Amino acid sequence: MTQPGSLVLVATPIGNLGDLSARALEVLGDAEVVACEDTRRTRRLLSAAGIRATRLEALHAHNERERTPALVRAMEAGATVALVSDAGTPTISDPGSRLVAAAVAAGLAVSVVPGPSAAVAAVALSGFNANRWVFEGFLPTRGRERRERVAAIAAETRPVVCYEAPHRIASTLAELAAVCGPERAAVLARELTKLHEEVWRGTLAELAARAAAGEPRGEHTFVVAGASPDPPPSAEEILAAVHDALATGSSTREAAAIAARRCGCPRAVAYRVALEVRSGGSVVSP
Ligand code: SAM
């Protein structure tokens, strides 16, 4: 049961119509207005689900700003507005955030019927540790902004999920292989939940070569494994850093602080090494 005069975000299938939930059907059937990116596409979805009477209103990247006030007024007058996108969860690399923010600002109730999203589906399939992960959406197509995002992915220790257009997938994977290193693991998920669903697993270099060898078609989401965190410093590195610091006249405490900063190890560990060096003892292991 939806609250009158409210906004409901409704996730729709990313391919397989069977993924439209029972609650999504109920909300879409009951809503006075369904705001959607493409009215023809959503009409087909609703018809396939046996829903005919609903009023559809286009809300897409190019008109969201101007359409939002009227939709808010409709909700204030008591209408329930359901928001869908062409596929998956609205607002995720899709329009809708502006309408959500406006509804919240107007004091209207906003709820969600959760469901498919390509990002969640791909990271779950990846097999990478998905307790923490990063969603990058579509990378900028060129320039400094793109270089910065790619560099951020290279440094990121959590898995990173990106959407990409089929004609760019090979070049994007090649660029990531060059910046993250060719051996970084990745997973490419294509046409998830559809007839030609494919999941490729390998290194970035392997996936880039495979994509370049064909003519990728359809919808692609890829996941880049997180970078391995820097290995802890070796005993020799800490000892060398302590020696260097003591040689410049630093006190034991100062030398420990300098070595800890340089090696990225706990100060207490460097301090123990510095004490050993000062007392002329042999340092076995920090
Ligand atoms: N809001 C949607 C969601 O929650 O998944 C994403 C919308 S975004 C405009 C569309 C992109 O999602 C596609 O270009 C593709 O990268 C990814 N995508 C959508 N459906 C997919 C599918 N079935 N398999 C793989 N990726 C998909």
Q: Class of the 6-116 domain? A: alpha beta
Find residue 106's DSSP bridge partners.
Answer: none
71 CA → ligand 1 middle, Å: 26
For residue 241, how far is its CA from the centre of ligand 1 (angstroms)? 49
Kindly compute the dihedral angle of the four CA atoms of residues 104, 109, 115, 121, in this order, to the nearest 10 degrees: 30
Residues having CB closer than 6 A to ligand 1 are: 14-15, 85, 87-89, 92-94, 117-119, 163-164, 189-194, 219-221
CA 138 – ligand 1 centroid, Å: 10
The SS3 assignment for 184 reads coil
DSSP-based three-state secondary structure for 222: strand
Residue 96's φ and ψ, nearest 5 degrees, are 130, -25
What is the predicted pLDDT for the residue at 234? Answer: 86
Question: Taking CA 135 as the corner, what is the angle to CA 264 and CA 168, rounded to the nearest 5 degrees?
Answer: 110
Residue 285 has pLDDT above 80, yes or no: no
C-alpha closest to that of 256 among 8, 172, 28, 245:
245
In this predicted structure, the answer to whether residue 281 has a pLDDT above a threshold of 70 is no
Mutate to test the pocket of ligand 1, among 141, 220, 223 (most ligand atoms within 8 A of CB): 220
Alpha-carbon gap, residue 2 to 169, rounded angstroms? 40
Enter the tokens of residue 244: 């260097």
Q: The CATH number of 119-224 is which of 1.10.1300.10, 3.30.950.10, 3.40.50.300, 3.30.420.40?
A: 3.30.950.10
Ligand 1 atom nearest to CA at 15: 23
DSSP for 55-100?
EEEE--TTTHHHHHHHHHHHHHTT--EEE--SSBSTTSSSS-HHHH
pLDDT digit string, tens, across residues 2-24: 788 999 999 999 999 999 999 99
Residue 284 pLDDT exceeds 60 = no
66 Cα to the center of ligand 1, angstroms: 25
Per-residue model confidence (pLDDT) at position 282: 54
